[in-house]
Amino acid sequence: MRTPAGFECRFFYGDYYRGRKHEECRLIGNTKSPRHWTSNLCKNCPVPRILQANACANMVLSATVTGLPFGLARRVVIKAHCTLTQTDVTQPEIGCGQCHPLPDIFTPNSQC
Ligand code: SF4
């Protein structure tokens, strides 16, 4: 579903049927204030970019909201974990490299 910021995100849910305006992020969920979700967090959230770049089914994302006191500079911080290799993924846009290894021609030690 398209977020209020205009990006496609599978974790966003909005219900606007018959005048309703219910929106939620199903990745962040219902966390308590000050780490709660608000729709303006979608504007700079890295998740739509990650999902567009890497569709690996083994990578699981988790998100937390961080920021300064009084709601200043709040943003979404993402952690990624690979359920296949049981490791944390440092670059979620690329992945851990186990499912989709690069062909030998792209590795530095290839004999070509
Ligand atoms: S905060 Fe990020 S993960 Fe949540 S709905 Fe918005 S874009 Fe998607």
pLDDT tens per residue, range 62-75: 999 998 877 788 99
- In total, how many domains does the chain have? 1
Whether 103 is covered by a domain: the verdict is no
Q: Is residue 1 part of a domain?
A: no
Four-point Cα dihedral 23, 26, 30, 34, nearest 10: -80
Domain that holds residue 29: 12-95
Ligand 1 pocket test: pick from 10, 25, 61 the residue with the most ligand atoms within 8 Å of its Cβ.
25
pTM of the complete model = 0.85
**Residue 61 is assigned to a structural domain of this protein:** yes
Q: Tell me, using a 6 A CB cutoff, whether residue 50 lines ligand 1.
A: no
Q: Using a 6 Å cutoff on CB, does residue 41 contact ligand 1? A: yes
Is residue 108 assigned to a domain? no
Q: Which atom of ligand 1 is nearest to the CA of 63?
A: 3
Hey, whose CA ends up nearest to atom 4 of ligand 1? 25
In the predicted structure, residue 37 carries a pLDDT above the cut 80? yes
- Show the beta-strand stretches assigned E in 1-112: 12-15, 22-25, 59-66, 75-82, 87-89
pLDDT in tens, 52-61: 999 999 999 9
Q: Which residue has the higher pLDDT, 34 or 46?
A: 46
Determine, yes or no, domain membership for 2. no
Q: Is the CB of 76 within 6 Å of ligand 1?
A: yes
Is there a domain that residue 55 lies in?
A: yes
